[in-house]
Each structure stands twice: as C-alpha cells, then as structure tokens.
Structure 1
Amino acid sequence: MTLYFASVLSGLEYVLSNEINNKVSDSEIIQINRGKVFFTIAESFTCLSTLRSADNLFQVIDQFQIGPHKKHLSQVSDRISQLDLDFIDHKDLYWVNASRKGKQTYSRFEVAKKAMEGIKKRYAEWNIGTSQNHQVEFRLDIEHHNVIFSLRLTNAMFRFRNQNRRFSRASLLPTVAHAMVWLSDPKWTDIFVDPCCGSGTILSERATYPANQIVGGDISDPVTKIAKNNLDDSMAEVNVWDAKKLPFATGYVDKIVTNLPFGRQISPDEDLELFNHHIMNEVCRVLNPNGRAVILSESVNQLFWEAKRLGLFCLKSYSLSLKGVNPTLFVFEKQGEHRRE
C-alpha cells in the first residue's frame, strides 16, 4: 500500500475524504489534518486524477523527526541522502518546497536547502533547479518535530483544469466548485441549475458527470459570454437571466448549486439582504420535493433564517476561508414526501 496525501481548501477535508472513499477502490483514510487528507491505496496514481476537490496530490516518501534548532538541520540532509529515489522519472532538475509550523529557529528556506543538499549527496548527477524551472518537485512539511517528505504528483493544470479558461471577477476555484457539485450528490437523472453561474466554473465541474440537463445563467451578458466560451465543449446551457425570477416551473429542478454574490460583488444600489431573500424564494420554488441546494454565501445568519422560513432543511454546513472572506457552504434539502416523476 502506498501512502498519499491530498491538499484541499481548509474546511473541505471531509468532502474530499468522502470523494476518495467513493472514487478510489481499496482506499483507506489514514488521517485528516487542516488542509490535508492522508490515505493509502493499492492502485496506481492514474486513479487519483478523478479527485477533483483536491488542490494537489502528493506521494509520501518518508516521515521522521527533527529538532527545533539550526544545529538540527543536518538531520534533514543526512536522512534524505539515505532515501531511494530511483522510482522517480525526469530527474534532470529538481526542487524542494518546504513549510514549517512550530517554534523552530530556522526558516523554511533553510530546510528546503538542506533537503536539496541531501538529494544531491546521493544523486550527484541530478541538478538543482529553481522554483520556476524544475521537472521534479518535492515537498517537506515540518509540524513541530514531525517531518513529512513527499513527491508532488500534480501541477497547476490539475487544480485550474485549463490554461485557456477565462475567469470572471470573483470566480470560484474549480476545486471548490467541484466540492459543491459533489455535495449535491450528482445523478445522471438530474436537472441541475446554477442561478448565478458567472464564468461557468460550477457548470463545468457538473458537466464531468452525466446529467439529464445542466443549465446556468447570469444577469450580465458579458459574463455569460465568458461562460459559453469556457463551456463550449460541454452539454451545459447558459442564459442571461435574473436569478430572482428563474424561468422554471415550480418543482422542476432536482439540484441547485451556486455561489451567491458577496457584498462587493453586486451593484452598489442593490440591497444584499433583499437580493438573498428573493433568490432563496426562487430556489425553494423551483426545487422539487427532496431536491437539494448547495449554496455558498457570506450571509450566514440570513441564509439559516431564510432556509428555516422556507422549509429547507440544512443537512450540512462548512465554514471556509476564501479570498480573504469567510463564507459558509450550506447543503439544503427541500422537505417533501414525493419526488417529481
């Protein structure tokens, strides 16, 4: 069994662990830390590419302990110089990124340098690259006395999906959008709607799963044009609409996933509380009985109140730290006895 860890936005660790358990056969969650999920699998790395809520994926190479003072840095180079790294391809240029948490007297840069010296000691033919120019990237994380040395398996394309993708103002990271989609429990029969789709990130992530219909919209015509370009090869449909007056019959929609605008993202002359009030009314109206709504919002107290008023049951909530604000991710279910046939 090989030990891996996935980095994830803080607050979404248990969402990612659920995705791992459901998508990766024979996986076992070993530990969940802030921003990290450790797990073992017997399969090759290829199966991990389906974990779209993860920011990056790493293979753990070694774990050991280190003292807190500069005199202890030699422990890093000595330990790493003993590691067998022959399994790694493309060894021309390597780099080590380091992080530390605790009361050490050395910096993360000093730790990284010692780690690179340790690799060089054993593999003299390998060359040290730069942070911007390398083929192989290692990661060394120190938390108090504990050290994890790992190999990074993913690059920026894994997290951002597509270099050609355009993002509108306040766009979600694809990994966060995917966590929201995953919480909606995607089914092939879903009629799925994002009322405030922006550049289409949530729609794009939902389009990675089969669906009956995927529809999104935004009040801004320029933004919807960006979304249409981003979604050109998917089955998602994008419209210009007012999210407070959705063009769907009552009880028509199975799943709604959306990132509600935060205060500075709506027009200055619009009342945010009233805006949220109208949107929540529409969410409840168009959802079918037992339909699910996954909503990201900074208006935490209001959404709890609106949901209670409308009979939307809060299954889960997750507090996030995102772009300097602290929104909450809600998972609501509409109360009802029968689903739409």
Structure 2
Amino acid sequence: MFVLAAPGLAPLVQSELSDLPGVEVTDVGNDGRADVVLCTVDAGREAALLRLRTADDVFVELGRTFRSEGDKPPWIVRRVLRPGRLEAATGLWRSTNPGPGSRGRGGRAGRQRLTYRVVARVLQERTWKRTELRRALDAGVSDAEPSWRADDPAQIEVWALEYTKGRFVAGLRLTTVRMRQHGGRESERPGALRPPVAAAMVALAGSPPDHRPGRAGRPDSPGRSGKSRSAGLSGTLLDPCCGSGTILAEAKAVGWEVEGRDIDASAVSASRRNADTPHVQDGDARDLDLPDASVDAVVSNLPFGRQYAVQGDPAVWIADVMAELARVTRPGGRVVLLVPELPRSAVPSALRLRDRHQVRLLGTTSTIWAYDRR
C-alpha cells in the first residue's frame, strides 16, 4: 500500500505508520505534488491505514516498476498493473467504501457497472508526456475490467505516479474526500488549515499527559484580566489564533482538553461549531487571559499577512506573541507553530527549538516549528 501527504509531512506520516502493528515503510518519495510513503501491510490490517490522521490519501498498491526497465507508457502500465491485483484491490475498496456499487459481486449493487477514472503524475516529460501515461493507464484498466465505464467523477480511481526519479507505483485509491477532511467542517473560512496538517502539528506536541489526581473537571482561577479561566489543568492544548478550529478538533480527537482564542469574533463562532467546544473565547495572542504555566501545549497556525493580517509591525507582533506563548506554557510543555519565518530574535530564551518541517500548502512554502518549553 502507499499513502499521499502534503509535501514535507512524510517524516510525520512515517512516525504515525510506525505505531501501527503489521506495517513497515519500504520507500519514500515525492511525485511533484505530494509526498508518497510506500509500505507493506500484513493481511487483514489494511483498514488501519484509513485511520491515519496525517495522510491525505490511502491506496492499495497495484505494482511498481522502473523507467530503466522500459521507458514507454504502455510498457510501464503492463508492469504496474499486475494481473489479479486490480480485482483484489477492488474487493478491498468494496469492503471499506459501503454504498452503491461497493457490495459483493453477487449482490444487486455488485452487478451495477462501476465507473472509474485514472490519474497520472510524472516528474519529467523529456521522452513522453504525462497524457501518454494516462491514456495507457486508461487502456490497461479498460482491458482488465471491461465492464467498468470511464467517468469523472467516478467511484474508482486508479493512479500511476513517478514518486521518485525513474520509479513508478500504481494504486487504487481507498479514501474519499470526507475521509481526507476527517468528516468535514460545519463552518468554513478562507485559509482554513487542512485537517491532516493540523493533525501533524498536534502530533508534534506529543501525547496529552494524564489528568492530575483531583483535577478531572475544569477548575477555574482568575487570569491576568481577572476573568475566570481554567488553570493548571493537565492535558490542555491552546490555540491562540484558532481560526476555523481545525487544530482544536484534531487535538480533541486524540484526547487533549482544548482552549481556543481568536481576535476575530467570526472565528470564535466557527471554532466553537467545528471543534464542538465552548472553550473558545475572544482573545489577543499578544495578551492572553491565562495564568502563567497554565497549558501543556500550544499549537497554532499563525497569521502571516496573506489571508489575515496582523495588527501593527509584524516583527513586533510575532515577538510579543512568542513571549506570551512561552509565558502560558508550563516547563516541559511544547509550542508548535506554522509560520514561514521565525526570527531568532523573536524567540524567547525559554523556548528551545526541537524540530522543524518545511511544508508546501496551496502553492505556498511554510514551516512547522516545534519548541520545548525549558
């Protein structure tokens, strides 16, 4: 099998895959638009990959080959579209995608004519064009499954990718748009973070610590503004610029208690709906209404002037925000941020850089920064 992820997230996808029993990563590449992580999966454990939170798409592998074994699209397709693999992959697709056309061949839906489309991606077109590979793949699928009908959109998608120079892999996609969006958002806003990217950032914050004895509820204590806020609750993750609430939703899904703040009232409303939590309030990331060392982690997609502008000088704004995030995070906690640049001068001495991952999102390069709170 293989999975696709946002460019730059392959190491985090590999980490998530390593936690799955019966799964071993065998190769990693990039097809020019997405990271590609190939793996072997023990029989019966394939459905576990559909629960990956950092991946965009999951495929049943149909075959691999090299350009060096014959650099013509029809030859490549014959090698990656192995006999019997397409039928077996379709059986797995039926079992993981309930609905019209996905029941067994003997059932009423199983006798319906399935629709399919093909996708081809190549890293270079010096010897032939990507469209030639797509036509050859279309012909190969039609020959293997003559009862299928080409359409777009379609029930079945078969992809052939040059995932690293001279290496090809083909697969049948198991995931749907709803799976990729982790169920979807009730309220959409421009520039909303993709759920798998949010999940990867939450993963970098680590696992939520157990609740401390006697603190199973949400006790309140006065914040800097004098308002009542949760304080010292183990397992709390804060997003101080929560936007659509995607990070909060992903954090909740893996067991974190969440707190959200945003200076935009419409974002507060959207976050409350999307993350299904009342613990989102109006707030300025430069002056949070939270006590010192009151959260275990901070994870946020900071505005950097494309979709949403910051107030005042951006350099001053980021320095003020970083100081405030260091203040509210407990020692031993973590701060994970998505922002293209973080000048060293803006990072307080209480934060030590642990990791960073350059990612490409919607044609824009940015960086995920992970800091340990000293």
TM-score normalized by structure 2? Answer: 0.80
- Would the alpha carbon gap of residues 78 and 292 (structure 1) be closer, same or farther in structure 2, given more than 3 Å must change? closer
* 1:117-136 CA distance string (max 9 Å, x none): 12222332222223x2x111
C-alpha deviation, 1:270, in angstroms: 1.8
In 2, Cα distance between the equivalents of 1:248 and 1:311?
18
1:264: how far off?
3.5
Tell me the secondary structure at the aligned position of residue 167 of structure 1. Answer: coil
* Distance of 1:69 and 1:93 partners within structure 2: 30
SS at match of 2:365: coil
Corresponding residue number in structure 1 for 2:75: 75
- Choose which of 229, 233, 247 in structure 2 pairs with 1:202: 247
User: Counterpart of 2:191 in structure 1: which amino acid?
Assistant: A
Secondary structure (helix, strand or coil) at the match of 1:75 reads helix
Amino acid at match of 2:28: I
Distance 1:267 1:80 in 2: 48
Matched, 1:6 2:41: no
Q: Does 1:325 align with 2:326?
A: no
Match of 1:338 in 2: none
Partner of residue 274, structure 2 = 230
- Cross-structure match for 1:120: 142
Pairing 1:174–2:175 present:
no
1:280 equivalent to 2:322? Answer: yes
> Contact 2:351/2:372 (CA < 8 Å) preserved in 1?
yes
Say which is worse superposed, 156-165 or 168-177, in terms of deviation: 156-165
Give the residue type in structure 1 aligned to 2:50.
Answer: S
For 1:115-194, what aligned pairs fall within 5 Å after superposition?
Answer: 115-130=137-152, 132=153, 134-142=154-162, 144-189=165-210, 190-194=235-239
| Distance 1:263-1:68 versus aligned 2 partners, 3 A rule | farther
Q: Tell me the amino acid that sits aligned with residue 323 of structure 1.
A: L
Q: Distance in 1 between matches of 2:16 and 2:81?
A: 36
RMSD of aligned residue pairs (Cα, Å): 2.3
Rate the CA distance shift 1:266–1:152 in 2: closer, same or farther, 3 A: closer
Unaligned runs of 5+ in 2: 95-101, 103-112, 211-234
Which of the residues 4, 15, 18 maps onto 2:15? 18
Deviation of 1:59 after TM superposition, in Å, equals 1.5
> CA, structure 1 residues 271+225, in 2 after alignment: closer, same or farther (shift >3 Å)?
same
Alpha-carbon separation, structure 2, partners of 1:247 and 1:115? 58
Amino acid of the structure 1 residue aligned with 2:13: L
Question: Under a length normalisation based on structure 1, what TM-score does the superposition of the two structures give?
Answer: 0.87
Task: Indicate how the Cα distance of structure 1 residues 66 and 325 shifts in structure 2: closer, same or farther if over 3 A, else same.
Answer: closer
Distance of 1:110 and 1:231 partners within structure 2: 45
The superposition leaves residues 95-115 of structure 1 with CA deviations (integer Å, 9 ceiling, x where unpaired) of: 110011124433222211211
Distance 2:345 2:271 in 1: 32
Distance 1:53 1:81 in 2: 27
Please tell me whether the aligned partners of residues 69 and 105 of structure 1 are also in contact (alpha carbons under 8 angstroms).
no
Matched-pair contact (CA < 8 Å) for 1:81–1:120: no
